[in-house]
Amino acid sequence: MADRFNHHTADARWQKRWDEEASFSADRYPDRPKSYVLEMFPYPSGRIHIGHVRNYTMGDVLARYKAMTGHAVLHPMGWDAFGMPAENAAMEKKVHPGTWTRANIAHMKAQLKRIGFSFDWSRELATCEPEYYGHEQALFLDMYAAGLVYRKESAVNWDPVDMTVLANEQVIDGKGWRSGAPVERRKLSQWFLKITEFADELLSGLDDLKDWPDKVRLMQSNWIGKSQGLRFSFDLADRSDKVEVFSTRPDTIFGASFVAVAADHPIALELAEKDAALADFAAECRRSGTSAAELETAEKKGYDTGLKAVHPLDPEWTLPVYVANFVLMDYGTGAVFGVPAHDQRDFEFASKYDLPINRVVSAEGDAGEPVGDSAYTGDGSIVNSRFLDGMAIEDAKKTVIDRAEAQGWGEATTTWRLRDWGVSRQRYWGTPIPIIHCDACGAVPVPKDQLPIVLPEDIDFETPGNPLDRHPTWSRVDCPSCGNPARRETDTLDTFVDSSWYFIRFASQPDDKPFDKAEAESWLPVGQYIGGVEHAILHLLYARFWTRALRHIGMIDLAEPFQSLFTQGMVTHQTWSAGDGSWLSPDEVKKDGADWMRISDGTPATAGRVEKMSKSKKNVVDPDAIIDQYGADAVRWFMLSDSPPERDLLWSDAGIEGAWRFVQRIWRLVGSADAAQGEDKALLRKLHQTIAGVGEDIEALSFNKAVAKIYELTNAVEKAKPSATRTETVRTLLLLLSPMAPHLAEECWARLDQDGLIADAPWPRFDPALLVEDEVTVAIQVKGKLRDTLTVPKGLDKDAMEKAALASEKVQRSIDGAPVRKVIVVPDRLVNIVL
């Protein structure tokens, strides 16, 4: 037997064997109970990174374990292949986005195969292929027919670099989620999906997702944002019209200091026609984005219209009306009333424009005190509010709402922060929206027998913007309704539409429709979904909506797509920088005593923070290079062993080298597993405890705990004397290892002349009786000092424990003939002999 496990030959050999035998086909065992394990599919950027490896290793361990425990397992892989990076590459590299994307897919697929993941590649899909997006177009038309899709002009987030619209969820800190460019506000005709129609369902459904992280459920709850309050109107002095507002805090109505309307509010538009300064201010507002995050962080600016709003509870009290940059027409009523003392945004605005800041909510002891240098947003009782004084906040809310409804100037209303999903994108590399615009007929759906509407190949990327708009012929078609010349929609769908149903297509892939209802439902919901917490709002909320929309139109009887969700931690690495501030990669630096230096020129290098691996900071590790050096199983083992899976994993050379050494330990252990006779009760008990514990840990995704138990069993085997128990334990150890280190397990399994593939072997069974400890180790003290330890039956009575202790040779030497005055026995723990 070779001294070392040779991953260079073993990895490829077993990967080929698994492919030949279709070991991971979901259809292999149709009569078994089904288990659907899925990791979020990647964007084909060109290379997998260590974060991918960690994510997919976790899913792979669970999928292999499920197969070993008698399940038919669906563990698919595909590609989230549309999007702006491909168009950017087309412009930079002068290649077609499809050419770039498909080449990246081929490379990344080869990388994933090197790691031995148990994917059912027969179900592979790429969202950029007509075989996928043609079905998506059909689903879009079904939703259009059901009234869940509509088109309207609205204010949108415009990314000036990617030159496309972004959903609010895609604006991070006021910037485009991909380009990082500050977004602008524009008016465009857009296609929308009616996600708000399902807002209540999406919110209440979170209560049923018991196997989702609390933080993800909270993030979605906050984003959906159910608010109950008062909708009412301010009369305008010297005018016949009103300003309608909504407030969740009607209890603070006596603290109002101003009314603010959006730049696109009808009143603002009317006044701007005769006020050039207001028109300029409104134009400045439109250059900012529409996301809540940006509105909160941007400098608060306003323009005094000169109008006065009459307070609904005091006709002698008027409030100035401003146009403000933090109010959006598409949110609520497009107008708000400001209570500076109890809202930080209003506080900043009032401070800037010298408006009153009147406390109307008081914590105990500060009723007469000003609010200080920031708004007071805590609990308390109502003050300075006439008939509301002394009330608790909730009582005051109800009182104001009741009075508004009785007097006819307002009504109790529920509103939602969630807005309909704008899915139009002004780009080429996406799913064409299957609508034709006819001057006579309006928006006409493309007949389904004409799907898919395929993207044209002859595209010009020399000019920024949407190439489909500039294509000479693609958009020119006849109207399906009247036959007159018409124009095809040139916007494409947001790529988050592609990922909102891909998990259903994985489960069922007929040629003539998006999926078969019965077949899809036989697999769904996904039993275990694994991916990053950064998708809590975008992908996960959209997928929940899309599934409900499909149920609404009768295509599937399913509300929640993902039964259990696990959000893994990131892989991090030390960073380094040169004297000029540029980042240095790990292979560009080395330790020079206590300091770091740049290898190329010997200049000092500065060690920075440990951060998530990123190309920009050059603290990445190339998986290919690591696999070349250490093998797939060492990489997999390290991904699982060094940190709880929900926490970040610090990449270290010592960690991967330790994993490689463990692989070699197992190899040597198998080489020493000669046939022998006899039973080792202690080792047998340890084996069965490990079988039970590792299984429980894998089910719970506590992979690091499972690894720790396998280490303990390996140590016990190495220390054990030859016996039949030891030989059987080595064999069983390989079964426990096989989900985590499958190539090593297969190679060792073959060397032990076991039948078939270990990938097809069942998970070992444990004897429940052996999980209970029936022996304990008891400390034996003489005059309070430890002199020996004895292993005795658990529950041994005091007399027997005393006799066993006194019979110890070490104890007798310590007593040395002295009379024993007293023996203190603590059952199952201690015997103390007093002389």
For residues 271 and 519, what is the distance between their CA atoms, to the nearest angstrom?
Answer: 60
Work out the percent of the chain whose per-residue pLDDT is above 70: 98
Equal CATH topology for 9-129+499-567 and 773-834:
no
pLDDT value at residue 653? 87
The per-residue pLDDT of the chain, averaged, comes to 93
β-pairing verdict for 435-438 and 242-247: unpaired
Q: Which of 67, 4, 46, 21 is nearest to 761 (CA)?
A: 67
How would you class 549 by CB atoms within 10 Å of its CB: exposed for 0-12, middle for 13-18, buried for 19 or more? buried
- How confident is the model over 363-376, as a mean pLDDT? 78
Is residue 681 helix, strand or coil? Answer: helix
* 336, β-bridge pairs: 260
pLDDT tens, residue by residue, 543-587 = 999 999 999 999 999 999 999 999 998 889 989 999 888 999 888
Q: Which residues contact 566 (CB under 8 A, 6 or more apart)?
A: 58, 213, 528, 529, 530, 645, 646, 701
Query: So what's the pLDDT on residue 292?
Result: 59
Q: Which residue has the tokens 């010009």?
A: 460
Find the DSSP H helices in 360-516. 393-407, 467-470, 495-498, 502-507
Q: How far apart are CA 261 and CA 319, in angstroms?
A: 13
Whole-number Å distance between alpha carbons of 251 and 228: 13
**Distance (Å, rounded) from C-alpha 629 to C-alpha 631?**
6
Please give the Cα distance from 359 to 367 (Å, whole number). Answer: 8
Nearest to 76 by CA among 24, 131, 127, 20: 24
| 309-326 mean pLDDT | 96
Q: pLDDT tens digits for 740-757?
A: 999 999 999 999 999 999
Checking if the pLDDT of 366 tops 70, the result is no
Q: How many percent of the chain have pLDDT more than 90? A: 77
What letter represents residue 763's amino acid?
W
Upstream peptide bond of 793 is cis (omega within 30 degrees of 0): no
- What is the pairing mode between strands 34-39 and 528-531? parallel
Instruction: Report the alpha-carbon distance of residue 428 to residue 454 in Å, rounded.
Output: 11
> From CA 158, how far away is CA 171, in angstroms rounded?
10
List the structure tokens of 550: 């499909």
| Residues 514, 552: Cα–Cα separation, whole Å | 16
- CB count, 10 Å around CB of 186? 15
Asked whether residue 294 carries a pLDDT value surpassing 70, the answer given is no
Check pLDDT > 80 for residue 607: yes
User: Among 248-252, 326-330, 658-662, where is mean pLDDT lowest?
Assistant: 326-330
Q: Domain 773-834 has what CATH class?
A: alpha beta
Q: What is the CA radius of gyration of the chain?
A: 34
When pLDDT is averaged across residues 21-50 and rounded to a whole number, the result is 95
Distances (CA, A) of 132 to 503, 504, 535, 581: 12, 12, 22, 45
Residue 1 has pLDDT above 70, yes or no: no
pLDDT over 80 (residue 289):
no
Distance CA 251, CA 595 (A): 61
Helices (H), 652-680: 653-671
Q: How far is CA 638 from CA 81, 618, 661, in A?
A: 29, 21, 11
Q: What is the mean pLDDT of residues 287-306?
A: 78
What is the pLDDT, as a whole number, of residue 185?
80
830-834 and 775-782 beta bridge pairing: parallel
496: which 2 tokens?
């988050």
For residue 439, the SS3 value is: coil
Q: Is the pLDDT of residue 187 over 90?
A: no
DSSP for 47-61, written as a single string: S--HHHHHHHHHHHH
Residue 364 pLDDT greater than 80, yes or no: no
H-only helix segments in 327-443: 344-352, 393-407
* Cβ proximity of 131 and 307 under 8 Å: no
pLDDT, tens digit, for every residue of 234-245? 999 999 999 999
Cα dihedral 364/365/369/375 (nearest 10): -30
Q: Which amino acid is at 461?
A: F
In our burial notation (b when 16+ CB lie closer than 10 A, e otherwise), range 311-331 reads: bbbeeeebbbbbbbbbbbbeb
Please determine, for residue 372, whether its predicted confidence score (pLDDT) is greater than 90: no
Residue 491 CA to residue 58 CA, distance in Å, equals: 38
Kindly report the pTM of this predicted structure.
Answer: 0.85
Per-residue pLDDT, 786: 94
pLDDT above 60 for 647 = yes
List of residues 6+ apart from 401 with CB closer than 8 A: 229, 230, 250, 410, 411, 412
Mean pLDDT of 349-358: 96
Closest CA to 198 of 565, 563, 554, 551: 551
Q: Backbone phi, then psi, for 133, in 5-degree steps?
A: -75, -20
Rounded to whole angstroms, how far apart are CA atoms 7 and 13? 9
pLDDT for the residue numbered 367: 60
Residue-wise DSSP of 144-193: HHTT-EEEEEEEEEEETTTTEEE-GGGEETTEETTT-PBPEEEEEEEEEE
For the chain, which residues make up each domain, given as ranges?
9-129+499-567, 137-194+420-495, 226-416, 773-834
The residues near 614 (Cβ < 8 Å, ≥ 6 apart) are 620
Q: Are 419 and 196 in contact (CB under 8 A)?
A: yes
Write out the H or E segment, with its range, that includes residue 127. none
Residue count of the chain, please give it: 835
CATH superfamily, domain at 226-416: Valyl/Leucyl/Isoleucyl-tRNA synthetase, editing domain (3.90.740.10)
For residues 386-401, give the mean pLDDT: 96
Of the candidates 28, 44, 33, 118, the one whose C-alpha atom is nearest the C-alpha of residue 78 is 44
Could you tell me whether strands 604-612 and 822-826 are parallel, antiparallel, or unpaired per DSSP bridges? unpaired
Residue 642: pLDDT band with limits 50, 70, 90: confident
Q: Nearest 5 degrees, angle CA 223-CA 700-CA 763? A: 145
- Verify cis geometry, omega within 30 degrees of 0, for the bond prior to 645: no
Is there a contact between 445 and 141 (Cβ–Cβ < 8 Å)?
A: yes
Task: Check pLDDT > 80 for residue 168.
Answer: no
What mean pLDDT do residues 427-432 have? Answer: 96
Phi, psi of 60, rounded to the nearest 5 degrees: -65, -40
Q: What is the DSSP letter of 208?
A: G
Nearest CA among 804, 823, 765 for reference residue 70: 765
Question: Max Cα separation, the chain?
Answer: 117
Query: Across-strand partners of 398?
Result: none
Q: How many helices (H) and strands (E) does the chain have?
A: 26, 35
Local structure of residue 447 (DSSP, 8 states): P
| Rounded-to-integer distance, Cα 75 and Cα 117, Å | 9
Which pLDDT score, from 0 to 100, does residue 688 have? 96
Between 722 and 463, name the one with better pLDDT. 722
Question: Dihedral of the CA atoms 600, 601, 604, 607 (nearest 10)?
Answer: -10
Residue 497's pLDDT is: 98
Cβ neighbors of 198 (< 8 A, separation 6 or more) are: 545, 548, 549, 552
* Whether the predicted pLDDT of 630 surpasses 60: yes
- Per-residue pLDDT tens over the stretch 77-103: 999 999 988 888 888 889 999 999 999
- Residue 232 CA: distances (Å) to CA of 255, 269, 313, 322, 666: 16, 21, 12, 18, 73
Residue 523, classed as helix, strand or coil, is helix
Evaluate if residue 436 carries a pLDDT over 90.
yes
CA distance linking residue 453 with residue 173, whole number of Å: 36
Could you tell me which of 41, 461, 393 has the C-alpha nearest to residue 252? Answer: 393
- The 10s digit of each residue's pLDDT in 762-777 is 999 999 988 877 788 8
**By the 8 A CB rule, do 805 and 789 touch?**
no
- Model confidence at 18: pLDDT above 60: yes
Q: Which tokens is 116 given?
A: 């031995």
User: pLDDT at position 561, please?
Assistant: 98
What's the token pair of residue 341?
Answer: 């003392």
Alpha carbon separation from 566 to 54, 104, 825 (Å, rounded): 13, 27, 49
Summarised one tens digit per residue, pLDDT across range 518-537 is: 999 999 999 999 998 888 88
Split at pLDDT 50, 70, 90, the class of 365 is low
- Quick check: 177 pLDDT over 80? no
User: Which CATH architecture fits 9-129+499-567?
Assistant: 3-Layer(aba) Sandwich (3.40)
Phi-psi region of 526 (alpha: psi -120 to 50; beta: other; left: phi over 0): beta
